[in-house]
Chain A
Amino acid sequence: DAGVIQSPRHEVTEMGQEVTLRCKPISGHDYLFWYRQTMMRGLELLIYFNNNVPIDDSGMPEDRFSAKMPNASFSTLKIQPSEPRDSAVYFCASRVAGGGTDTQYFGPGTRLTVL
């Protein structure tokens, strides 16, 4: 299996622009998580889905952030408009319920820089 796939790996944009991050979870996994990692705040959960349905989005910082999962193999995290404080590494992770080790598998991350 290719693991969790994220794109792009790096994104540099200017303040005010729309940014869309993409994630393809591991096939057969029914949970998908979006995280943000910064030096100041560490790794924070933004939102997670179960069977394509958003379960908890309490970690989404502002209305500028939105996430969708139109099908079991694709999810997006959108920031509109972007701000310099959104600069961070964004990770997507997936897991399967009752999967023995009950662990999440992380993608390589998208490093976002907002100028």
Chain B
Amino acid sequence: SQELEQSPQSLIVQEGKNLTINCTSSKTLYGLYWYKQKYGEGLIFLMMLQKGGEEKSHEKITAKLDEKKQQSSLHITASQPSHAGIYLCGAPPPGTYKYIFGTGTRLKVLA
């Protein structure tokens, strides 16, 4: 079965610093979703990547899927306290909607 591993598990950065979160799949990805979760709330969709080498940006967050479609990275530029939360990557195995998710990366941004 397919598994998603995220690294690091947790991250504490000073406001204004850049950071990167990685998501590695045990099998080829056919779609990779990034979500953000704040404590006590549901998951908020950030971005979806489908093609190898694809890169998308939204405000100060950039996500990329590698050419082999087995690893994705999420990069935050000039982090702010509002970026704090849990970031999860998710993917549906091909031909199904049985989404699986990584274990999450807890981000804390110090003001």
Contacts and interface: CB of A to CB of B under 8 A. Distances in A.
Asked if A and B bind, the verdict is yes
Nearest to B31: A102
Tier of interface size on chain B: 20 to 34
B99 A101 contact: no
Nearest to A48: B97
A102 B90 CA distance: 13
A42 B45 contact: no
Contacts of A109: 40-42
Tier of interface size on chain A: 20 to 34
**Which of the listed residues A31, A58, A106 has the most CB atoms from chain B within 10 Å of its own CB?**
A106
A93 B101 CA distance: 14
B99 A108 contact: no
List the 8 shortest-distance A-B pairs measured between CB atoms, nearest first.
A106-B42, A43-B101, A106-B43, A42-B103, A103-B45, A108-B42, A107-B42, A109-B42
19 contacts: A44-B101, A45-B99, A45-B100, A50-B97, A56-B96, A58-B98, A91-B42, A91-B43, A93-B42, A93-B43, A102-B48, A104-B99, A105-B45, A106-B35, A106-B43, A106-B44, A108-B41, A109-B42, A111-B40
Given A43-B104, A58-B98, 5 more contacts: A91-B42, A101-B48, A106-B44, A108-B40, A109-B41
Interface of A: 4, 31, 33, 42-45, 48, 50, 55-56, 58-59, 91, 93, 101-109, 111
